[in-house]
């Protein structure tokens, strides 16, 4: 029997396949707190680094006031405010897992 944590991660990977979901949506689907989703995400990213058939995709946060997109953000969580206009109306990032080609080969 697998430890529960692993099960949650596997379910997250299944849910994220070929789609884009925010941490909030994942939390709703899994029935766990959003904070826990955010804790699991880096592990999922890590586990997919070596996976040549799949690729973790981050759909970055954007400011709904000025349109600034947080492309260079390395953290997976939602930024609290926009660095350009200081607005807090920042959309949550969304995550997904695409099946990619095996790159060079």
Chain contacts with Zn ion (rule: CB under 5 A): 63, 65-66, 68, 82, 84-85, 87
- In whole angstroms, how close is the CB of 80 to Zn ion at the nearest point? 12
- State the Cα–Cα distance between residues 99 and 56, nearest whole angstrom: 9
- In whole angstroms, how close is the CB of 81 to Zn ion at the nearest point? 8
Tell me the backbone φ, ψ of residue 33, rounded to 5 degrees: -65, 150
28/84 with CB nearer Zn ion:
84
- In whole angstroms, how close is the CB of 66 to Zn ion at the nearest point? 3
29/85 with CB nearer Zn ion:
85
Other CB atoms closer than 10 Å to residue 36's CB: what's the count?
15
Residue 86 three-state SS: coil
Which neighbouring-strand residues pair with 56? Answer: 97
43/68 with CB nearer Zn ion:
68
Which neighbouring-strand residues pair with 62? Answer: 69
- In whole angstroms, how close is the CB of 23 to Zn ion at the nearest point? 21
């Amino acid at each position: 029997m697998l430890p529960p944590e692993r099960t949650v991660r596997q379910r997250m990977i299944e849910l994220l396949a070929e789609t884009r979901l925010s941490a909030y949506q994942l939390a709703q689907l899994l029935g766990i707190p959003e904070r826990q989703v955010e804790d699991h995400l880096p592990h999922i990213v890590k586990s997919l680094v070596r996976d040549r058939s799949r690729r973790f995709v981050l759909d970055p946060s954007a400011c709904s006031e000025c349109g600034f997109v947080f492309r260079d953000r390395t953290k997976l969580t939602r930024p609290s405010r926009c660095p350009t206009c200081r607005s807090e109306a920042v959309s949550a990032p969304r995550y997904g897992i695409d099946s990619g080609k095996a790159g060079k080969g």
